[in-house]
Amino acid sequence: MKLLAIDTAGTACSAALLCAGRLTERVEVAPRRHGELLLGMMDELLQAAGISLTALDALAFGRGPGAFTGVRIASAVAQGAAFGAGLPVIGVSNLAALAQAAWQRWGARRIAAALDARMGEVYWGTYWIDDAGLARAADGEQVSVPDQVRVPAGGDWWGVGSGWGVQQAALAAHFAADRTTPSQPTLIQVEPDLVATARDLLPLAVADWGAGQAAAAGAVLPVYLRDRVAEPPRR
- The phi-psi region of residue 86 (left if phi > 0; otherwise alpha if psi is between -120 and 50; otherwise beta) is left
From the options 3.40.190.10, 3.30.420.40, 3.30.930.20, 1.10.3720.10, give the CATH code of 2-93+196-219: 3.30.420.40
Residue 232 confidence (pLDDT)? 41
- Residue 104, C-beta contacts closer than 8 angstroms, at least 6 positions apart: 200
pTM value > 0.85: yes
What mean pLDDT do residues 135-148 have?
Answer: 97
Residue 127 confidence (pLDDT)? 98
Residue 235 confidence (pLDDT)? 35
**Rounded distance between C-alpha atoms, residue 142 and residue 164, angstroms:** 15
* Identity at 17, one-letter amino acid code: L
* Cα-to-chain-centroid distance, residue 88: 19
The chain-wide mean pLDDT, for the chain, equals: 94
Whole-angstrom CA distances from 202 to 14, 67, 182 are: 12, 20, 34
- The phi-psi region of residue 225 (left if phi > 0; otherwise alpha if psi is between -120 and 50; otherwise beta) is left
Residue 182 confidence (pLDDT)? 80
Residue 179 confidence (pLDDT)? 78
233 has pLDDT over 50: no
Domain spans, the chain: 2-93+196-219, 94-191
Q: Please, how many CA atoms are within 13 Å of residue 224, restricted to the half-sphere of its CB?
A: 11
Q: Give the pLDDT confidence of 153-185 residue by residue, as tens digits.
A: 999 999 999 999 999 999 999 999 777 778 899
Identify the CATH homologous superfamily for domain 94-191. Answer: ATPase, nucleotide binding domain (3.30.420.40)
Fold equal for 2-93+196-219 and 94-191: yes
Q: What angle do CA 52, 27, 123 make, to 5 degrees?
A: 110
- Is there a cis peptide before residue 65, judged by omega within 30 degrees of 0? yes
- What angle do the packed helices 94-106 and 198-210 form, to 10 degrees? 110
**Rounded distance between C-alpha atoms, residue 198 and residue 39, angstroms:** 14
Residue 57 confidence (pLDDT)? 97
What mean pLDDT do residues 192-216 have?
Answer: 97
Whole-angstrom CA distances from 15 to 38, 77, 141, 151, 233 are: 7, 12, 24, 32, 37
Question: At 226, is the pLDDT very low, low, confident or very high (cuts 50, 70, 90)?
Answer: confident
Q: Give the pLDDT confidence of 66-100 residue by residue, as tens digits.
A: 999 999 999 999 999 999 999 999 999 999 999 99
